[in-house]
A and B are shown apart, each in its own frame.
Chain A
Amino acid sequence: MNSDTIAAVSTAMSPAGIGIVRISGTHAFEIADRIYDSGTKKKKKLSEQPSHTIHYGFLVDGEEVIDEVLVTLLKGPRSYTAEDTVEINCHGGVFAVKRVLETVLKNGARAAEPGEFTKRAFLNGRIDLSQAEAVMDVIEAQNEYALRSSVKQLKGAVQARIKALRAGILYEIAHIESALDDPEHISLEGYPEELEEKNESWKKETEILLKNSEDGKIMTEGIRTVILGKPNAGKSSLLNVLTGEERAIVTDIAGTTRDTLEEKVNLSGVTLVLVDTAGIRQTEDVVEKIGVKRSRESVRDADLILYVVDSSTELDGNDQEIMGFLKEKKAVVLLNKTDLEAVTTEEILREKMQQAGIGEIEVIPISALENKGLDRLSEKVKEMFFGGELSFNDQVYITNARQKQALLEAHRSLIQVGESIQAGMPEDFFSIDLMSAYEAFGRILGESLGEDLVNEIFSKFCTGK
């Protein structure tokens, strides 16, 4: 483990009134001593002051006074990172705060990597894995809604749900195990039915968490979106509207805008990740043949398909092929070029889609060129992915891949418990998969098992010889 001392600005870099620079690590107090001047006749040494005290004084770089400051001293382990920590409250403003940080770095600290304070807090046992991950999510959150979900998770909402699930499962495992160890005192008559009911409710709750995790992923990572359409349908124009000056580009994944494979755009608060944008740009202008294989691949991984139809021409073989991709996918049809005379109307389009065996799909007339009809698109997307409302107040989200994987495993195990009950297996078989579910949920929290099971048995049941 690194025992080096790290520092960073821990407030937002903004023209706010106050900024805080945080230093954490073995040498935090030493460094603070070097750059702190109490301004009194007899110089105060911070390293000799008691923990959890605040000191007024000046931040100095050699002879030069940088700022007037308040310094908070937190000795480990009673700090966020569980290490010795010094927090310097200085006057805000990007420039002032930066100067303070530079002074700290000059005097022996290293610039912290993103999330490094949290990483240390986790490694030092101050917070559990899910809390640590939530902090990381905050740091990486893409938009306002994602941020809100992360903050909620930080407060332990996920933790509380999973903990409750685990406690319920553990209780049942303990009950089964007690009965096995003491068959003469504890009966399992009628128990499978009882367990089945509970198992069903755990399964449902896990499904909700899983469903939410989809939304959660979409919130933090964005909706993976593929734009499909025959040549000259207007994909490129749509792309330009979506990524153009009018709407802010959130992030470019790699390199310059025009060469990227993916672009993130913010559509009224929802992040879309547009896939294969370079492909569209490169081929739209020349004679284009849709790379069917490539389309199929992007479609497979996509959360959303935007199918652009040129209303000024007739539907052709390309359209047929594309319709084949829409089955069982979330898709919106954009009937483009409403500024021109309509050859393919909404009715004709719907009829064709019905023939192709596609169910209800929203058709939105737009004019990419004139930037019309896109408001309806963003409303529709919100409806499709967030049930119309972007309010996450009482929902709990799992947002990270590791946690989601564990959720899936837990869910699978609970299904297997249900199957064992249905098949009339002896009770001791239930606990194999219950244990797997319990463990999978535990992985979300970064908790292990073992000792607690035996303790549970002792505290709850009478096991006599």
Chain B
Amino acid sequence: MNTITENVDVVVVGAGHAGCEAALACARLGLKTQLFTVSVESIAMMPCNPNIGGTSKGHLVRELDALGGEMGKNIDKTFIQSKMLNQSKGPAVHSLRAQADKADYSREMRKVLENTENLTIRQQEVTEILTDEEGKLTGIKTYSGAVYNCKACILCTGTYLRARCIYGDVSTYTGPNGLQAANYLTDSLKSHGIEMRRFKTGTPARIDKRSIDFSKMEEQFGDERVVPFSFTTDPESVQIDQISCWLTYTNEKTHEIIRENLDRSPLYSGMIEGTGPRYCPSIEDKVVRFADKNRHQVFIEPEGRNTNEMYVGGMSSSLPEDVQYAMYRTVPGLEHAIIVRNAYAIEYDCINPRELDASLEFKKIPGLFSGGQFNGSSGYEEAAAQGLVAGINAAMKVLGREPLLLDRSESYIGVLIDDLVTKENREPYRMMTSRAEYRLLLRQDNADLRLTKKGYEVGLISEERYQDLLKKEKEIEEEIKRVEHTNIGANEKVQAFLERHGSTLLKSGTTLGELIRRPELNYEELAEIDEARPKLREDVQEQVNIEIKYEGYIQRQKRQVEQFKKLETKKIPKDLDYDDVYSLRLEAKQKLKEYGPTSIGQASRISGVSPADISVLLVYLESHRS
């Protein structure tokens, strides 16, 4: 049989949210990039919830944008509603979440891919990883037998590997939305000694809008003034007519039906073997685990502008079809619900991410990278962020440059990757604000200040955008200095202003900075008594306000970071033989060998390595420093 052989720089397997970012990054860095997908129609598909962002996930998208990724720009083009969450809380936990028009989102991303130089799309299943005698990656093989020689490959197979969809006793061996599964790659990876896992996730039903009685639900509006995801999007361009979501609740009757039919759930009958995410539980999970709650929220969200399908957020399930009908119809407003697509659970193969180093390259197969759900995460945003980093690092490798490594103190992406490659993940990993220790420094509003410089160094940020960033930095710095040195006298105008804002009157002069620090005042309001104030961009003003207002907290958090960096910079030699470290416990030795941490800091985060083990290691390294 004659087969095709082609030579490219980089192969990307999968065109979901991770694959798109990976392929774009490589192509934009000038590498000949080949993107494979089982279906061109499913590029950047959103098979589950119709939104991008949310608490901490919004941060990931902003960071990805600051590094030169595409997701932020794409959702800005295709959203139908947007909200800044947690506005009543501190700036660290403000998080953007936008409802997407799913079809538009997918179409727009496809358009971007199709029009990117150096990037070609191919509909074909990749079945084999090819390596040389030393185990280094040389290329991939497709189902048709074609061989693509490449210098690097990024696996972004999402939930497609040996995928199986299940509800009740019905199961099909397909990927999401009935798409073709990829059934061969798992064996190829296993033959290279890669440890595979089986995870599970699920999605709720989609219901026909015409069958819903919205008068029994609470309308959920978007923000009046929408903030775009991308730092490059003109804020004026996103002030559009938005579409509402709706809130309703489950009740005792719903829970009763679920409880009565638990024996018919594949989760409880043992038909599903994969591990599901605890934080994104199915409705039957919630009813069992939180038995004392008599209701759970249900969000009815549109899937797009031009469709009647509505997503039933909060009620994912794998119960049989008839039970699904019965339980959905107990929810106020859904009494006559007509289901368009059933809820289902999906099982798939993924890797144990400790197979990867912090650059997302396989330790056992140099040249092979991976990102997204294939790495054991969940969520579009987590996938995209990893896809971007894997793509960048694959490109850096091909170009013979240093990898992009982000640490926990500079980004959520750093937290995400460090958690994946260092900690024991027994279920799909979801980003959460609580996972980021240095949250106050990792705000969504300063993602550009934290990361755009790195994006520029990598080569994904244009000179113009970089210069713009430098200008912004300078303006912030100068304005903070000016404000801290602007004296405010206790004159009539000032006292009147303070009185009006319910703030204590001045006994003697103070600085503008001191007034900003008062909880009831802020930079913007103080314009009235700040005569010499220069005209500044909104985002500059925001930074000035936050930096001054929360200075004490920011300083304390920075001290925490210093502590963290101390352990992080204590490097562990690559050739350290843990068997020589006499006093280490056996379990710790095994874990340290398995993960091969690069620093004491990373070692301390490995589950199964105790503080006492770290002391032993520190003592050992100290006494063997020559």
Stretch at the interface among B3-11, B267-275, B580-588: B580-588
Q: Is there an interface contact between B607 and A181, defined as CB atoms closer than 8 Å?
A: no
Which of B56, B85, B93, B440 gathers the greatest number of chain A CB atoms within 10 Å?
Answer: B93
Tell whether A428 pairs with B279 under 8 Å between CB atoms, given A180-B55, A446-B612, A448-B611: no
Q: Is B423 an interface residue (CB 8 A)?
A: yes
Instruction: Give chain A residues whose Cβ lies under 8 Å from the Cβ of B93.
Output: 180, 426, 428
Stretch at the interface among B120-128, B147-155, B540-548, B552-560: B552-560
Q: Is A128 an interface residue (CB 8 A)?
A: yes
Q: Is there an interface contact between B605 and A450, defined as CB atoms closer than 8 Å?
A: yes
CA distance in complex: A418, B485 (Å): 29
Q: Which residues of chain B in 86-134 are interfacial with respect to chain A, using CB atoms and an 8 Å cutoff?
A: 86, 88-90, 92-93
CA distance in complex: A428, B557 (Å): 13
Q: Is there an interface contact between A183 and B615, defined as CB atoms closer than 8 Å?
A: no
Q: Is there an interface contact between A181 and B85, defined as CB atoms closer than 8 Å?
A: no
Closest Cβ of chain A to B166, distance in Å, is 20
Q: Is there an interface contact between B582 and A435, defined as CB atoms closer than 8 Å?
A: no
Q: Which chain B residue shows the least CB distance to A188?
A: B89
Closest Cβ of chain A to B89, distance in Å, is 4
Closest Cβ of chain A to B54, distance in Å, is 8
Q: Is B221 an interface residue (CB 8 A)?
A: no
Instruction: Give chain B residues whose Cβ lies under 8 Å from the Cβ of A433.
Output: 556
Q: Is A361 an interface residue (CB 8 A)?
A: no
Q: Is there an interface contact between A185 and B297, defined as CB atoms closer than 8 Å?
A: yes
CA distance in complex: A432, B561 (Å): 12
Cβ contact of A432, chosen from B289, B313, B553, cutoff 8 A: B553
Q: Is there an interface contact between B55 and A183, defined as CB atoms closer than 8 Å?
A: yes
Q: Is there an interface contact between B553 and A123, defined as CB atoms closer than 8 Å?
A: no
Cβ contact of A464, chosen from B296, B433, B440, B581, cutoff 8 A: B296
Q: Is there an interface contact between B89 and A428, defined as CB atoms closer than 8 Å?
A: yes
Q: Is there an interface contact between A436 and B560, defined as CB atoms closer than 8 Å?
A: yes
Cβ contact of A123, chosen from B280, B290, B433, B619, cutoff 8 A: B619
Size of B's binding interface in residues, CB under 8 A: 56
CA distance in complex: A454, B434 (Å): 7
Q: Is B616 an interface residue (CB 8 A)?
A: yes
Instruction: Give chain A residues whose Cβ lies under 8 Å from the Cβ of B192.
Output: none
Q: Is A207 an interface residue (CB 8 A)?
A: no
Q: Is there an interface contact between B583 and A1, defined as CB atoms closer than 8 Å?
A: yes
Cβ contact of A1, chosen from B90, B281, B582, B612, cutoff 8 A: B582
Q: Is B377 an interface residue (CB 8 A)?
A: no
Q: Is B604 an interface residue (CB 8 A)?
A: yes
Cβ contact of B607, chosen from A124, A451, A457, A464, cutoff 8 A: A451
Q: Is there an interface contact between B90 and A426, defined as CB atoms closer than 8 Å?
A: yes
Instruction: Give chain B residues whose Cβ lies under 8 Å from the Cβ of A424.
Output: 519
What string of 1s and 0s marks CB contacts (under 8 Å) between A405-422 and chain B? Answer: 000000000001000000
CA distance in complex: A122, B582 (Å): 13
Q: Is there an interface contact between B86 and A180, defined as CB atoms closer than 8 Å?
A: yes
Q: Is A293 an interface residue (CB 8 A)?
A: no
Q: Is B475 an interface residue (CB 8 A)?
A: no
Q: Which residues of chain B in 598-616 are interfacial with respect to chain A, using CB atoms and an 8 Å cutoff?
A: 604-605, 607, 610-616
CA distance in complex: A122, B618 (Å): 13
Q: Is there an interface contact between B616 and A436, defined as CB atoms closer than 8 Å?
A: no
Q: Is there an interface contact between A2 and B55, defined as CB atoms closer than 8 Å?
A: no
Closest 9 CB pairs of A and B: A177-B434, A125-B612, A426-B90, A426-B89, A465-B280, A1-B582, A1-B583, A3-B582, A428-B90
Task: Supply 17 A–B pairs (Cβ within 8 Å), ascending by A.
Answer: A122-B615, A128-B611, A177-B434, A181-B55, A183-B85, A425-B90, A427-B90, A428-B92, A432-B439, A448-B604, A450-B605, A451-B423, A451-B605, A451-B607, A457-B434, A462-B286, A464-B280
Beyond A183-B55, A465-B54, 7 additional contacts (C-beta under 8 Å) are A125-B588, A183-B85, A426-B90, A432-B557, A462-B286, A464-B281, A465-B279
